């Protein structure tokens, strides 16, 4: 029986790098992003390598779209890995919390916090059947208190707590949950945080692939409930 992964925010950056890596590990893929053109072109490239890929463009904040993603995973036979990677940064240039428009903060929470939980809820029957793994992509902004990053960081801090709680609640069902801080990377979203600045000194998302290879090799019960930093030199399992 083949393995299937669902990745949000999959047409560029970390999501695209992870999709290529997982395809190389013989995963079937369900990929989503908002831009249909970029997503379809990216998915086509992976399919040309002989891999099964279903691309479903849409907004993860929409419940109907999340259900379509789960239905796509069902067509591939199930779900082993859910990567909640899609995120929004908020206004660019970054603004302080005292100036952050509340509608913009509501959008951050909708995409970065509520959508991952909604997708977990919708996909849980499939994940339970395969004793799968949920990965919620976090950020150092969740713990840093960096000026200008408050809205984004607050959404990721809440996602960290959501991850820990879900890990406790789902352990008996055999489903693992981890939060992963991928670290600074040279991505389009990181560029939005520093408009007009040169970010070429940041590594590409591929720098995190050794971590993903390590994570997928661990038993679910050994890693569930943990928060990892993908660019650390080494990673630990629970003692």
User: Would you list the domain boundaries of the chain?
Assistant: 3-223
Is-catalytic flag, 146?
A: no
Distances in whole angstroms, Cα of residue 48 to Cα of each of 43, 52, 158: 9, 9, 39
Q: One of 21, 27, 105, 152 is an active-site residue; which one?
A: 152
SS3 227: strand
- Which pLDDT belongs to residue 91? 94
- The answer, yes or no, to whether residue 215 has pLDDT greater than 80, is yes
Averaged over 32-59, what is the pLDDT? 96
Distance CA 156, CA 147 (A): 15
- The answer, yes or no, to whether residue 210 has pLDDT greater than 60, is yes
pLDDT tens for 145-170 read 999 999 999 999 999 999 999 999 99
Q: May I ask the CATH architecture of the domain 3-223?
A: 3-Layer(aba) Sandwich (3.40)
- The answer, yes or no, to whether residue 53 has pLDDT greater than 90, is yes
Dihedral (Cα; 167, 173, 175, 179), 10-degree rounding: -10
Averaged over 44-52, what is the pLDDT? 94
- Which pLDDT belongs to residue 197? 83
Selected residue with higher pLDDT from 208 and 200: 208
193: which 2 tokens? 């945080």
Report which secondary-structure segment, H or E, holds 7: strand 3-8
Distances in whole angstroms, Cα of residue 109 to Cα of each of 106, 159, 198: 5, 9, 29
């Amino acid at each position: 029986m083949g393995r299937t992964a669902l990745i949000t925010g999959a047409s560029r950056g970390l999501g695209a790098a992870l999709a290529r890596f997982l395809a190389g590990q013989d995963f079937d893929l369900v990929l989503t992003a908002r831009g249909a053109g970029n997503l379809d072109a990216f998915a086509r490239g992976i399919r040309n390598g002989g891999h099964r890929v279903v691309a479903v463009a849409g907004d993860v904040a929409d419940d109907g779209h999340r259900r379509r993603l789960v239905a796509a995973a069902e067509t591939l036979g199930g779900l082993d890995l859910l990567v909640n990677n899609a995120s929004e940064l908020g206004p660019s240039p970054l603004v302080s919390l005292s100036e952050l428009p509340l509608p913009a903060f509501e959008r951050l929470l909708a995409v970065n916090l509520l959508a991952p939980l909604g997708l977990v809820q919708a996909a849980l029957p499939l994940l339970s059947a395969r004793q799968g793994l949920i990965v919620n992509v976090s950020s150092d902004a969740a713990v840093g208190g960096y000026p200008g990053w408050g809205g984004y960081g607050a959404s990721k801090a809440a996602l960290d707590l959501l991850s820990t709680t879900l890990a406790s609640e789902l352990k008996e069902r055999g489903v693992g949950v981890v939060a992963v801080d991928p670290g600074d990377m040279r991505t389009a979203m990181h560029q939005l945080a520093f408009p007009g600045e040169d970010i070429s000194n940041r590594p590409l998302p591929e720098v995190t692939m050794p971590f993903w290879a390590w994570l997928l090799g661990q038993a679910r019960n050994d890693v569930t409930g943990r928060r990892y930093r993908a660019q650390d030199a080494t990673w630990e399992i629970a003692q």
